[in-house]
């Protein structure tokens, strides 16, 4: 059951989600001709209305209202996912276990897909990247980003509550999951998967080093055995060596097609970079009120140069930051800015109030960095599955901050309570 106390930790993101929903609906409210005709790129529509004797018709801000209603209805996924965890009062550790399970399912499905080849019946979408391990997605890059995040979450779960997890069965499962996700990420042929996986290994090395420096581990058997605590460079070196060994095995057994695809001739010069000037032009036109959520592909066709016409079409901007501005305008920018400020303040609070939370701060900053980079070159958070992952990570982050950032110097019974919360 959802209560006031269960909403306390996620009050800010839920309020921002509600405000975003209101703005998306407002973009669909019909406006008088004197208002909507003054909006960008409405001249042709106004002329067509005049020729058809429809001068007095009211139209909304959204350039394609049907797409706008579809975007609003799609919010049922993140809202339902959020309310589910809030009602269950799920702890951060519980959310991590769920996300690890989801990441493993995606990786295992991807492995079966590439085993079955392009004709596999386990591809759920069309068009999609046939022959690649897309998992539950239609785009191999989205699956690759999820794989990199899953690696981070597995490491964070293993470093639960000031000590490495002491549940043998869980540790074994996490180890197997880690290897499976790494394997699928490296053979995917996705630049996002390859690059973020390498970075994930380095981040995990830093997390392990910071985690092992904690005072409660210094006198324990784990602490005494942790030679890495005295040799921080060795932590990073192990990450490099592990990734290098996997690459060597892939090339040795002629399984490096995914790596070769990531560095193919046109890998770094493709359409997503060529349309950047067009996106800039669109942002300059729609920055105030936006073109309406879900309308990008229709509006892009107005700006698309003739020499860019190809059999395929640009369905998204492949730069979600730019598309957010184009579709949502200034109100959406303000909402996103408020969310970023909340994240920054929460991380600062987590670090300032709990000096031993450095590893957790590194984890959360890496998660945010991965999603930020992925959104610069693609649109993972526009897929329903990733919206679910994103909202669950937000709830886990809020729960982590609430559990570990309440007091600066807890003592006595308060210290014991904080320690119990940390272990959750």
Mean local confidence (pLDDT), 374-395 = 94
Greatest mean pLDDT among 199-203, 228-232, 294-298 lies in 294-298
Dihedral sign computed on CA atoms, order 173, 176, 179, 182: negative
243 and 301 belong to one structural domain: no
302 and 255 belong to one structural domain: no
Tens-digit pLDDT profile for residues 232-251: 455 556 656 766 666 666 55
Q: 264, 296, 320: which is the final residue of a domain?
A: 264
Residue 45 lies in a domain: no
Q: Is the pLDDT of residue 127 over 90?
A: no
Hey, what are 138's tokens?
A: 């239609």
219 and 153 belong to one structural domain: yes
289 and 304 belong to one structural domain: yes
Tens-digit pLDDT profile for residues 157-213: 988 754 555 566 777 888 889 989 988 888 877 777 888 988 998 898 888 878 777
User: What are the residues whose beta carbons fall under 8 Å from the beta carbon of 373, sequence distance 6 or more?
Assistant: 196
Band of residue 269 on the pLDDT scale cut at 50, 70, 90: very low
Band of residue 264 on the pLDDT scale cut at 50, 70, 90: low
Residue 102 lies in a domain: yes
Residue 270 lies in a domain: no
Percent of the chain residues topping a pLDDT of 70: 78
Q: 213, 231, 264: which is the final residue of a domain?
A: 264
Query: φ, ψ for residue 46 (rounded to 5)?
Result: -65, -40
Q: What is the 3-state secondary structure (H, E, C) of the chain?
A: CCCHHHHHCCHHHHHHHHHHHHHHHHCCCCECHHHHCCCCCCHHHHHHHHHCCCCCCCECCCCCHHHHHHHHHHCHHHHHHHHHHHHHCCCHHHHHHHHHHHHHHHHHHHHHHHHHCCCCCCCCCCCCCCCCCCCCCCCHHHHHHHHHHHHHHHHHHHCHHHCCCCCHHHHHHHHHHHHHHHHHHHCCCCHHHHHHHHHHHHHHHHHHHHHHCCHHHHCCHHHHHCHHHCCHHHHHHHHHHHHHHHHHHHHHCCCCHHHHHHCCCCCCCCHHHHCHHHHHHHHHHHCCCCCCCCCHHHHHHHHCCHHHCCCCCCCCCCCHHHHHHHHHHHHHHHHHHHHHHHHHHHHHHHHHHCHHHHHHHHHHHHHHHHHHHHHHHCCHHHCHHHHHHHHHHHHHHHHHHHHHCCCCCCCHHHHHHHHHHHCC
Query: φ, ψ for residue 267 (rounded to 5)?
Result: -65, -35
- In this prediction, residue 360 carries a pLDDT of 87
111 and 257 belong to one structural domain: yes
- In this prediction, residue 62 carries a pLDDT of 95
Q: Are 247 and 256 within 8 A, CB to CB? A: yes
Range of the domain at 145: 90-264
Residue 57 lies in a domain: no
Q: Average per-residue pLDDT in the chain?
A: 82
Percent of the chain residues topping a pLDDT of 90: 43
Domain count, the chain: 2
Q: 240, 264, 288: which is the final residue of a domain?
A: 264
**Buried b vs exposed e over 58-91: b needs ≥16 C-beta within 10 Å?**
ebbbbbbbebbbebbebbebbbebbeebbeeebb
Interatomic CA distance for residues 117 and 130, integer angstroms: 8
Residue 150 lies in a domain: yes
Tens-digit pLDDT profile for residues 148-157: 999 999 999 9
Q: Is the pLDDT of residue 278 over 70?
A: yes
288 and 150 belong to one structural domain: no
104 and 244 belong to one structural domain: yes
Interatomic CA distance for residues 417 and 217, integer angstroms: 19
Q: C-alpha 221: how far from its chain's center?
A: 37
User: What are the residues whose beta carbons fall under 8 Å from the beta carbon of 272, sequence distance 6 or more?
Assistant: 318, 319, 377
110 and 222 belong to one structural domain: yes
Which one is predicted more confidently, 243 or 114? Answer: 114
Residue 23 lies in a domain: yes
* 329-333 LR contacts (CB < 8 Å, sep 24+): 329/286, 329/287, 329/288, 329/289, 329/290, 330/287, 330/288, 330/289, 330/290, 331/23, 331/289, 331/290, 332/20, 332/23, 332/290, 333/287
Band of residue 268 on the pLDDT scale cut at 50, 70, 90: very low
334 and 311 belong to one structural domain: yes
Q: Is the pLDDT of residue 229 over 60?
A: no
Interatomic CA distance for residues 356 and 370, integer angstroms: 23
Tens-digit pLDDT profile for residues 389-416: 999 999 999 988 887 655 444 444 444 5
Tens-digit pLDDT profile for residues 85-99: 988 888 888 899 999
Q: How far is CA 327 from CA 68, 85, 316, 320, 374, in A?
A: 10, 29, 11, 10, 19
311 and 376 belong to one structural domain: yes
Burial of residue 287, with CB atoms counted within 10 A of its CB: 0-12 exposed, 13-18 middle, 19 or more buried:
middle
- In this prediction, residue 235 carries a pLDDT of 52
216 and 286 belong to one structural domain: no
With vertex at residue 395, the alpha carbon angle to CA 393 and CA 401, rounded to the nearest 5 degrees, is 100
Residue 47 lies in a domain: no
Q: Is the pLDDT of residue 120 over 70?
A: yes
Q: Are 366 and 148 within 8 A, CB to CB? A: no
Mean local confidence (pLDDT), 333-345 = 96
Query: φ, ψ for residue 180 (rounded to 5)?
Result: -65, -50
Residue 242 lies in a domain: yes
The CA dihedral of 219, 349, 156, 422, to the nearest 10 degrees, is 60
Q: Identify any residues that bridge with 183 across adjacent strands, giving them in sequence order.
A: none
Give the range among 37-41, 264-268, 317-321, 368-372 with minimum mean pLDDT: 264-268
108 and 233 belong to one structural domain: yes
- In this prediction, residue 126 carries a pLDDT of 83
């Amino acid at each position: 059951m959802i209560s006031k106390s269960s909403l306390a930790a996620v009050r800010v993101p839920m309020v921002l989600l509600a405000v975003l929903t209101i703005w998306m609906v407002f973009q669909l409210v019909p406006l008088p001709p004197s208002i909507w005709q003054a909006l960008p790129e409405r001249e042709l529509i106004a002329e067509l209305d005049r020729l058809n004797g429809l001068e007095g018709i009211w139209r909304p801000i959204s350039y394609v209202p049907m797409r706008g209603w579809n975007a609003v209805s799609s919010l049922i996924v993140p809202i339902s996912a959020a309310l589910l965890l809030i009602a269950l009062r799920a702890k951060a550790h519980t959310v991590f276990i769920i996300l690890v399970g989801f990441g493993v399912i995606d990786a295992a499905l991807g492995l079966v897909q590439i085993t079955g080849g392009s004709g596999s019946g386990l591809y759920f979408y069309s068009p999609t990247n046939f022959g690649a391990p897309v998992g539950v997605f239609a785009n191999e890059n989205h699956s690759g980003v999820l794989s990199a995040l899953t690696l981070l979450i597995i490491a964070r779960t293993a470093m639960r509550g000031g000590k490495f997890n002491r549940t043998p069965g869980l540790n074994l499962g996490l180890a197997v999951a880690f290897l499976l996700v790494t394997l699928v990420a490296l053979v995917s042929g996705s630049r996002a998967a390859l690059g973020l996986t390498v970075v994930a290994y380095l981040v995990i090395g830093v997390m392990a080093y910071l985690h092992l420096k904690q005072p409660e581990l210094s006198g324990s058997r784990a602490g005494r055995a942790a030679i890495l605590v005295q040799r921080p460079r060795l932590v990073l070196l192990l990450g490099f060596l592990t990734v290098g060994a996997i690459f060597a095995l892939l090339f040795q057994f002629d399984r490096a097609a995914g790596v070769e695809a990531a560095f193919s001739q046109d890998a770094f010069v493709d359409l997503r970079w060529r349309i950047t000037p067009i996106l800039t032009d669109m942002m300059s036109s729609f920055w105030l009120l936006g073109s309406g959520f879900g309308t990008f592909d229709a509006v892009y066709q107005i700006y698309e140069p003739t020499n860019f016409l190809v059999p395929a079409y640009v369905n998204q901007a492949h730069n979600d930051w730019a598309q957010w501005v184009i579709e949502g305008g200034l109100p959406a920018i303000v909402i996103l800015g408020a969310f970023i400020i909340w994240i920054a303040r929460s991380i600062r609070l987590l670090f300032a109030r709990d000096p031993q939370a450095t590893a957790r701060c590194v984890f959360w900053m890496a998660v945010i960095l991965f999603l930020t980079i992925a959104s610069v070159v693609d649109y993972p958070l526009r897929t329903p599955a990733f919206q679910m992952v994103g909202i669950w990570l937000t709830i886990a982050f809020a729960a982590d901050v609430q559990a570990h950032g309440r007091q600066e110097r807890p003592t006595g019974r308060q210290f014991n309570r904080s320690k119990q919360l940390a272990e959750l």
